[in-house]
Amino acid sequence: MTETQVLVAGGGPIGLAAAIEARLAGLDAVVIEPRTGAIDKACGEGLMPGAVRALLRLGVTPDGHVLRGVEYRDARRSAVHRFTTGDGLGVRRTTLHGALLARAEHLGVRIVPGRVDHIVQDGAGVTAAGIRAEWLLAADGLHSHIAREVGLALPAPPRRRRFGQRRHYRVEPWSDLIEVHWTRAGELYVTPTAGGVVGIAVLARQGVRFEDALREAPELAARVRGAEPVSGLRGAGPLRQRTRGRVAGRTMLLGDASGYVDALTGEGIRIGLDQARAAVAAAAAGDPTRYEADWERVTRDFRRLTGALVRGATSPLRGAIVPAAVAAPRLFAGAVERLAR
């Protein structure tokens, strides 16, 4: 049987980052991933400044479009905050995946095609997909099979379920900001990426059609009218996913598999990178309880601030969010900075 110190389930961005972290910490790492080639996924593709810095630390510098801040807009007004701690980057998922994969392979990570569907754990290690490891880092995404198998998944809350959809257009970016258009249908999250491509992600309740949501933001619709769509429509959700804990024996959950709030503040990758770092540090120290505490710390703002914003966005107060951001620019700036860090 193949043996390794760290087995990672899921070769998405956070699984690959965890494998890179493991190699940088001097640990062997194997990644199991069912899909091959450049993996795409419904994502807003805005890397916050903190994510750009964390990737740089891993030696990963993907090609992208510089993002200098965030703009909230409704039909009548706009609030802008420019990042003060460095730039973000708009990066196509396939580009990000390619850059992480190349770095992982360069560092000697083995990528094995397959799927983790059954785990056996004991005091000394864990066996999954025919591989024996000291630690299993589970980064198998929003609907994590592993979180359910090890008894850490909680049912998705029945109320306020939100879904994401995204499509790309070949059009020269018109802004260096992430634009969030607040409409009656939902939020449209616009990210410029490299090569004259702009991505639009729609965040809304179930049943809202992408084209209908786009029509609700006429200025944005006009910008992409006639532009060639360069990707198919992809969706994901429900976005909110909860876990009762992040550690079960020698298995640690990270990335979306460890729980997710919402895509509205564009932080999934940044938080997942922090989790990958913390999980590998816990594995190297042989102390998984340390990961649970670190997970609480690195996700606190996401759970509290993004959670509060989504509660507002799904309440009768929704229409007051952009006016409030305009009326209280320091508050808006403070929230964006905290989440972008």
Question: Site residues (CB under 6 A) for ligand FAD?
Answer: 9-15, 32-35, 39, 41-46, 51, 115-117, 139-142, 145, 164, 166, 201, 236, 255-257, 263, 266-270, 272
Q: How far is the CB of 252 from ligand FAD (least distance, A)?
A: 13
Q: How far is the CB of 3 from ligand FAD (least distance, A)?
A: 18
Nearer to ligand FAD, 71 or 256 (CB): 256
Q: How far does CA 204 lie from the centroid of its chain?
A: 17
Q: How far is the CB of 149 from ligand FAD (least distance, A)?
A: 9
Q: How far is the CB of 327 from ligand FAD (least distance, A)?
A: 26
Nearer to ligand FAD, 28 or 40 (CB): 40
Nearer to ligand FAD, 255 or 288 (CB): 255
Tokens (6 digits) for 144? 């994590």
Q: How far is the CB of 320 from ligand FAD (least distance, A)?
A: 24
Tokens (6 digits) for 196? 């004259």
Q: How far is the CB of 39 from ligand FAD (least distance, A)?
A: 5
Nearer to ligand FAD, 240 or 330 (CB): 240
Nearer to ligand FAD, 9 or 99 (CB): 9
Nearer to ligand FAD, 136 or 224 (CB): 136
Q: How far is the CB of 183 from ligand FAD (least distance, A)?
A: 16
Nearer to ligand FAD, 35 or 68 (CB): 35
